[in-house]
Structure 1
Amino acid sequence: MSMSTARQSLWPIGKDAQYLGPHQGTEPIDVTVVMRRRGTHPTPAAWPHKPPCKREEFDAQWGADPADAEKIRGFAQQHGLTETGCELHRRVMHLRGTPQQLQQAFGVQLGSYQMPDGGPIKRGCHGKPTLPSDISSSVVAVLGLDQRPVARPHFRRLAAAAAATSYTPLQVGELYGFPSTADGAGQTVAIIELGGGYTASDFTQYMQSLGITKIPKVDVVSVAGGTSQPGGDADGEVMLDVEVIGALAQGASIAVYFAPNTDQGFYEAISQAAHDSTRNPSVISISWGGPEDSWASTTLAAMESALQDAVTLGVTVTAASGDSGSTDGESDGQQHVDYPSSSAYVLACGGTKLTGSGSKISGEVVWNELAKNEGATGGGVSAGFALPSWQASAKVPAGAKGSSGRGVPDVAGNADPETGYQVRVGGQDQVIGGTSAVAPLWAALIARFNQQLGQNVGDVHEALYGIGTKAFHDITKGNNGAFKAASGWDACTGWGSPKGQALLTALSSLKGSSGAG
């Protein structure tokens, strides 16, 4: 049995599916056409020198060109497709058509695919959608033809037999020196969920059990037909995310965006959260992902554009780096990193095994329980994204075939299920770990920073890489398979786990030195 088989058999992704034959259904299909942005590429808001772009300015500068939308509209009408919505600021047009109409319009073949282990039959798309030459340059991607899942949640329940230490999120926050002067008030933290459900009574009972009397507001947002559906295994992911953020950013509001686990759903959830002018999140937490090489190139281009929108608007995106070590659960024996954590627009969150009490850490090493088939932190070198300028001096190792690429993760936090988080799911108290816990941990910390600094930190990479080890617990012991921990940045835990107050002080001093106000 491979290190990842037990966990990931629950969460197969599209490339694991078996082709059964042509798609036989006749039900209409809703697709999202992602349009190119007008103008050149926007510059992400980066603490403290580049403040967030105002929404109205973004829409005028970086939304879709109405002329592009008109061209696509004419194409859709030629093929009998119905337009069900268009949002130029988000660069999306929604079209509906029969399978036959869509196959003809986009030059693809729709098939039926069996998910492994007798799972559901899903519609899949063979071939890359094609468009006439006068339109193709206007379109980044056509999403929604393929229903196969693109991501898995990065959480791990503690095996019943394992002897373990466990912590509440409050205890982890104390060990990491989360600043006591801020609780996230005035901030909204968005959470992306591609399955599972949220149970308000569990959250309320959990917060009360921690002695928290003012229960944070939680909004459930339905995206692209996705809904909160409690009762499945992914509830562990949802409640872990909400409870970690609720405990560690008690003054913040929380918005949970539920979308289908498809390329369309994932893109729409990030895009809608980034552009949500009602809830106005300043942080987005993502605990789902899949190996880089499992993504279609056009889907990656669309996802990257949505993440770029987020950071341009000053929204920090945190993402789990994966729970299957340096292979990311692939069976080819090669190194792989997980997407979206490998995006340069995302703060990639790796995992540690943490021991300590009160505010004193007695030990912290790379999370690696592969020998027990209990997972390990993801991390490594991207095969698809170049080395960012802010990572140039981090000594990122060579990737596959000696290539240079974006190093993953950036930061880390407690993730080992054997030192996991006490949470409440389905009316039961449980212990859950995984890098899924680290993305919301950092999201809560960023929300506190935003409140205290009086401005969204946005894309915080350049600042963190400039600050370096002085504001982190540098993890120097352990490995995640192919990569070993080392002094400074490494491909297991990035810079390490946070020294919360020290990091806030360092960010504050950057603001002062830049003259930003």
Structure 2
Amino acid sequence: MKLRSKYLRVTAATALLATPIGVMGSMPTAQADTTNWVATHTQAFVPTNATNLGSLPASTELTVVIGLQMQNQSGLEQYIQDISTPGNALYGQTLTPSQFEATYSPSSSTVDAVTSYLESQGLSNIQVSANRLLITATGTAQQLESAFNTQIDQFSMNGRTVYANVDPAYVPSSLGGAVVAVLGLTNAAQMQLPLATPTPTTSTSLPNYPASYNPQGFWKAYNIGNTPQATGTNIAIFAEGNLTQVVQDLRTEEAANQLPQVPYTIVQVGIASNDTSGADEWDLDTQYSTGMAGNVAHLYIYDTTSLTDSDIAREFNKFAEQDVAKAGSASFGECEYDAYLDGSMLVDDEVFAEAAAQGQTTFASAGDTGGFCAVTPTNGVPAGVPDVNYPASSPYVVAVGGTTLITNSDGSYDEELAWTGGGGGTSYFESAPYWQNGIVPPTTNVGKGLPDIAMDADPNSGANVYVDGSPEVVGGTSLASPLALGVWARLETSHNNQLGFAAPLLYGVYGSDGFHDITLGDSGPYPATPGWDFATGLGSFDVSNMNTVMDQYAPMQTAPAPAPAPGPAPGPAPAPGSQPAP
């Protein structure tokens, strides 16, 4: 299994099948002169159903993120397999960030070469991430077009003005093999928030189909039993914008449900933003990750500038290079074809691989339009062409699909159905990881199968979330992902934070009573069937049973491992004197 995408170029047939609405399905446009240049994985990104407004003004200032190629990539892949395989001499071990940097990070000479080139092109504010995987830099549109031998145009699309590189991004041949991709040449590729609200239902034959659950309701339904609260485990949420109200809402929800106030740190990644359009999403994420966990040692909220692929890559990278949280949730995604085109897929996959080698797990929403891409940047229908969500399709991310949760009159688990909107399918661009072999049904495509697991997502059996101080009922796989994170945090605390990257372990216990095998319903077009399926993956957690199962498979420990140090002091902002993370 490779970290790199399966295909270096998109075939015409694949492009026709996989292209979501809003992206041209043709090959990248040809450069007039590419002598002495080599291509990166940032391809031409030409929006369709949009009006080209001409060249982006030359003086427009943009920030780009240059993703560098790690060293010994195949060695890292093998290491992750070794530490995840019971019986292997390395089973249960993990890397520290410094060990990753020493063995797998791009060399200092590579960083120096790229940095020198950026400086020679007049770019400024050049910053190198601690793990040397990313370099950020600022320049005008004219400088960036010259530096990367590309062209950046403006477009009017869906009522907003965006920009995009209409030619691929190149670097001088002397940097060939060093630069994976150049992110930030387009802001047309953005993550979307799969947040769903209830719709009227006429179902009357279900035992208990409540409008919403609070955290304790989910504890009962998913059989927490004696599984401890996650008081020994740090977790993370990936967010964007102004989070002032989000923190206030978290405190309101904790008080309403008689939950302890969790310590938190907002880690600002990049320039702070006043945007509050995603606040209800971050309300859901913070309240139901910590709520499902009961309590956590520390909540880290990685807060970036926007939902563009370039900004999101930076906060994913900060999660890995800091290595202070055992697991995190990304309740957003985009059609994976977008991430493939702009190159963020390969950049983020390197970051997720580092996290996995360090024993960290990232959960991500599988999407809310079944096996299809959303036509518009909103939750639900209409849906477009078949495709899966990224980052959920990354091999080193646990994709969380959706269910409709049905409980008995006492609140205990009765059954689940595949939620009609839950994302699933086969990746066109990401290879199937080895742990899916023999479990995921074979298809005509050999990509990763989604989702890996599923949790409640139907907004008609959703969560009672406090938004702007008042309770609202919401759902979507935006709910499923933080629920899974909360469960995993409990399991980590119960096993001394030594479970490591979740995906191989979860597939390793496939068939155990730690999962509810969901066999009813469908996510359109995929039905739930006995065993793994493209609607609900392995199924949902029976937490108490899974905790017992983990006793048999988790690495043996002689003493409890403490939670990672909390880093910056808790509060609404980074510690005094700290700078925005590169």
TM-score (norm 1): 0.89
Q: Which amino acid aligns with 1:345?
A: Y
The Cα of 1:461 is off from its aligned counterpart by 2.0
Alignment of 1:337-486 (within 5 A): 337-357=388-408, 358=410, 360-368=412-420, 376-398=421-443, 402-469=444-511, 470-486=513-529
SS at 1:445 equivalent: helix
Structure 1 equivalent of residue 568 of structure 2: none
Aligned partners of 2:166, 2:328: CA distance in 1, in Å? 32
Structure 2 equivalent of residue 34 of structure 1: 67
Of residues 63, 71, 96, the one that matches 2:113 is: 71
Alignment of 1:106-145 (within 5 A): 106-116=148-158, 118-119=159-160, 121-145=161-185
State whether residues 228 and 494 of structure 2, in contact with CA within 8 Å, keep that contact through their aligned partners in structure 1.
yes
Structure 2 equivalent of residue 235 of structure 1: 279
| Alignment CA distance shift 1:263-1:386 (3 Å) | same
SS at 2:430 equivalent: coil
Deviations 1:420-476 (A, max 9, x none): 100100122100000011111111111111111113423222221221232111100
Of residues 251, 256, 271, the one that matches 1:209 is: 256
Aligned partners of 2:50, 2:290: CA distance in 1, in Å? 37
Alignment of 1:268-287 (within 5 A): 268-277=314-323, 280-287=324-331
Structure 1 equivalent of residue 39 of structure 2: none
| Alignment CA distance shift 1:489-1:481 (3 Å) | same
Q: Which amino acid aligns with 2:290?
A: G
Aligned partners of 1:38, 1:425: CA distance in 2, in Å? 45
Structure 1 equivalent of residue 57 of structure 2: 24
The Cα of 1:404 is off from its aligned counterpart by 2.1
State whether residues 326 and 483 of structure 1, in contact with CA within 8 Å, keep that contact through their aligned partners in structure 2.
yes
Aligned partners of 1:332, 1:503: CA distance in 2, in Å? 35
Q: Does 1:245 align with 2:295?
A: no
SS at 2:428 equivalent: coil
| Alignment CA distance shift 1:17-1:448 (3 Å) | farther
| Alignment CA distance shift 1:54-1:503 (3 Å) | same
| Alignment CA distance shift 1:162-1:306 (3 Å) | farther
State whether residues 214 and 463 of structure 2, in contact with CA within 8 Å, keep that contact through their aligned partners in structure 1.
yes
State whether residues 227 and 547 of structure 2, in contact with CA within 8 Å, keep that contact through their aligned partners in structure 1.
no
State whether residues 449 and 504 of structure 1, in contact with CA within 8 Å, keep that contact through their aligned partners in structure 2.
yes
SS at 2:520 equivalent: coil
Q: Which amino acid aligns with 2:539?
A: G
State whether residues 97 and 322 of structure 2, in contact with CA within 8 Å, keep that contact through their aligned partners in structure 1.
no
Aligned partners of 2:242, 2:188: CA distance in 1, in Å? 17
The Cα of 1:244 is off from its aligned counterpart by 0.1
Aligned partners of 1:88, 1:139: CA distance in 2, in Å? 17
Q: Which amino acid aligns with 1:130?
A: Y
Bigger Cα displacement from structure 2, 43-52 vs 309-318:
43-52
Of residues 150, 156, 175, the one that matches 2:221 is: 175
The Cα of 1:276 is off from its aligned counterpart by 1.7
Deviations 1:482-514 (A, max 9, x none): 211111111000111101111111112113689
Aligned partners of 1:418, 1:507: CA distance in 2, in Å? 32
Q: Which amino acid aligns with 2:250?
A: F
SS at 1:188 equivalent: strand
SS at 1:151 equivalent: coil
Alignment of 1:188-199 (within 5 A): 188-194=234-240, 197-199=243-245
Aligned partners of 1:195, 1:50: CA distance in 2, in Å? 37
Aligned partners of 2:287, 2:47: CA distance in 1, in Å? 30
The Cα of 1:319 is off from its aligned counterpart by 0.6
Bigger Cα displacement from structure 2, 293-302 vs 467-476:
293-302
Of residues 387, 390, 398, the one that matches 1:336 is: 387
Structure 2 equivalent of residue 225 of structure 1: 271
Q: Does 1:503 align with 2:524?
A: no
SS at 1:319 equivalent: strand
Of residues 60, 64, 84, the one that matches 1:46 is: 84
State whether residues 198 and 238 of structure 1, in contact with CA within 8 Å, keep that contact through their aligned partners in structure 2.
no
Aligned partners of 1:17, 1:180: CA distance in 2, in Å? 55
* RMSD of aligned alpha carbons: 2.5
State whether residues 381 and 397 of structure 1, in contact with CA within 8 Å, keep that contact through their aligned partners in structure 2.
no
Structure 1 equivalent of residue 311 of structure 2: 265
SS at 1:29 equivalent: strand
Of residues 219, 240, 255, the one that matches 2:300 is: 255
Q: Which amino acid aligns with 1:154?
A: P
Alignment of 1:4-19 (within 5 A): 17-19=50-52
SS at 1:309 equivalent: helix
Structure 2 equivalent of residue 318 of structure 1: 363
Aligned partners of 2:231, 2:525: CA distance in 1, in Å? 41
| Alignment CA distance shift 1:159-1:194 (3 Å) | farther
The Cα of 1:40 is off from its aligned counterpart by 3.4
State whether residues 498 and 554 of structure 2, in contact with CA within 8 Å, keep that contact through their aligned partners in structure 1.
no
Identity of aligned residues (%): 26
Deviations 1:310-343 (A, max 9, x none): 1111111101100011113257864211111111
SS at 2:387 equivalent: coil
Q: Which amino acid aligns with 1:416?
A: D
| Alignment CA distance shift 1:490-1:482 (3 Å) | same
The Cα of 1:133 is off from its aligned counterpart by 1.1
Deviations 1:197-234 (A, max 9, x none): 4522221111111012x20122222222243643x3x2
SS at 1:186 equivalent: strand
Deviations 1:59-99 (A, max 9, x none): 11112201101211221232222252123514222222222
Aligned partners of 2:463, 2:265: CA distance in 1, in Å? 23
| Alignment CA distance shift 1:81-1:513 (3 Å) | closer
Q: Which amino acid aligns with 1:153?
A: L
Aligned partners of 1:15, 1:170: CA distance in 2, in Å? 46
Aligned partners of 2:437, 2:450: CA distance in 1, in Å? 13
Q: Which amino acid aligns with 2:262?
A: P
| Alignment CA distance shift 1:264-1:170 (3 Å) | same
TM-score (norm 2): 0.79
Aligned partners of 2:201, 2:54: CA distance in 1, in Å? 43
Structure 1 equivalent of residue 347 of structure 2: 302
Aligned partners of 2:525, 2:338: CA distance in 1, in Å? 20
| Alignment CA distance shift 1:351-1:161 (3 Å) | closer
Size of the aligned set, in residue pairs, is 490
| Alignment CA distance shift 1:15-1:282 (3 Å) | farther
Aligned partners of 1:445, 1:228: CA distance in 2, in Å? 32
Task: Structure 1 unaligned segments of length 5 or more: list them.
Answer: 1-7, 369-375
